[in-house]
Structure 1
Amino acid sequence: MANTLVDIPQAEWIDLRDLYLAQKQLSFAYNTIQCLIDWKTQNQDLEINIYSLNGDWRSDGTYVAIKKKPITYLFMNTLSDNQKRLLTALRMLKNKEPLLVFGYRECLTPTVKQLFIERGAKEEEFEADGTAWYHIDKDKATQFAVDVPKGFTLRRLDPKNAELVNSVWPHRTSETLLFVERMITYSDSVGVYDGSDNLVAWCLRLPIGSLGLLQVMESHKRLGFGSLVVRYMSKLIASKGLEVTAPVVFQNVASRSMFERLGFKVIDNVYWSTLPEIK
Structure 2
Amino acid sequence: MENFVDGNEATETADWEDVGEDKIPMVLAEMAKEGKDSIYILNSIRRIMKWSAKCPEVEMKMYRPKNIQWRSSVIVTAEGKLDVAFIFSPYKSCSFLLSAIRENGIIKMENQPMVYFGVPEEFFGHLEHEIISGEFTAAWSFVFNSYWLPPETAKKFKVDVPTGFTISRLDPSHASTVNSVWPYASASSLALVYDTILVNETAGLFEEKNSRLVSWILHVYYGLGMLYTEKEYRRRGYGTIMVKALSKRLAENGAEINLLAKEDNVEANSVFQKLGFQATGPVMVIQIQSRS
Q: Same fold (TM over 0.5)?
A: yes
Structure 2 CA distance for partners of 1:217 and 1:25, relative to 1, 3 Å: farther
Alignment length, in residue pairs? 274
What residue in structure 2 maps to residue 211 of structure 1?
224
CA–CA distance in structure 1, aligned partners of residues 165 and 76 of structure 2: 40
Bigger Cα displacement from structure 2, 72-81 vs 210-219: 72-81
CA–CA distance in structure 2, aligned partners of residues 166 and 252 of structure 1: 21
CA–CA distance in structure 2, aligned partners of residues 31 and 126 of structure 1: 25
Question: What is the percentage of aligned positions where both structures have the same residue?
Answer: 23
Which structure is higher in helix share? Answer: 2
Offset at 1:275?
Answer: 4.4
The one-letter code sitting in structure 1 at the alignment partner of 2:48 is: L
| Residue correspondence of structure 1 range 47-86 to structure 2 within 5 A | 47-54=59-66, 60-70=71-81, 72-86=83-97
8 Å contact kept, 2:65–2:71: no
Deviations 1:229-248 (A, max 9, x none): 11122223333555433212
The one-letter code sitting in structure 2 at the alignment partner of 1:13 is: I
Structure 2 CA distance for partners of 1:117 and 1:180, relative to 1, 3 Å: closer
Instruction: State which of 130, 134, 146 in structure 1 corresponds to 2:147.
Output: 134
Two-structure CA RMSD over aligned residues (Å): 3.3
Structure 2 CA distance for partners of 1:178 and 1:121, relative to 1, 3 Å: closer
Offset at 1:26?
Answer: 4.4
Deviations 1:186-208 (A, max 9, x none): 32221112213222111112323
8 Å contact kept, 2:38–2:88: no
CA–CA distance in structure 2, aligned partners of residues 251 and 29 of structure 1: 21
8 Å contact kept, 2:206–2:215: yes
Instruction: State which of 19, 33, 40 in structure 2 corresponds to 1:8.
Output: 19
What residue ranges of structure 2 are gaps of 5+ in the alignment? 1-12
2:246 is the counterpart of 1:233 = yes
Instruction: State which of 76, 96, 99 in structure 1 corresponds to 2:113.
Output: 99
What residue in structure 2 maps to residue 245 of structure 1?
258
What residue in structure 2 maps to residue 31 of structure 1?
43
Deviations 1:37-88 (A, max 9, x none): 101111223133223345x789723222222345632211134453343333
The one-letter code sitting in structure 2 at the alignment partner of 1:128 is: S
| Residue correspondence of structure 1 range 167-206 to structure 2 within 5 A | 167-195=180-208, 196-206=210-220
8 Å contact kept, 1:27–1:270: no
Instruction: State which of 130, 134, 139 in structure 2 corresponds to 1:115.
Output: 130
Moved over 6 A (4+): 56-59
CA–CA distance in structure 2, aligned partners of residues 120 and 202 of structure 1: 37
What residue ranges of structure 1 are gaps of 5+ in the alignment? none
CA–CA distance in structure 1, aligned partners of residues 197 and 120 of structure 2: 28
What residue in structure 2 maps to residue 42 of structure 1?
54
Normalising by structure 2, we get a TM-score of: 0.78
2:278 is the counterpart of 1:261 = no
The one-letter code sitting in structure 1 at the alignment partner of 2:252 is: S
2:270 is the counterpart of 1:270 = no
2:161 is the counterpart of 1:152 = no
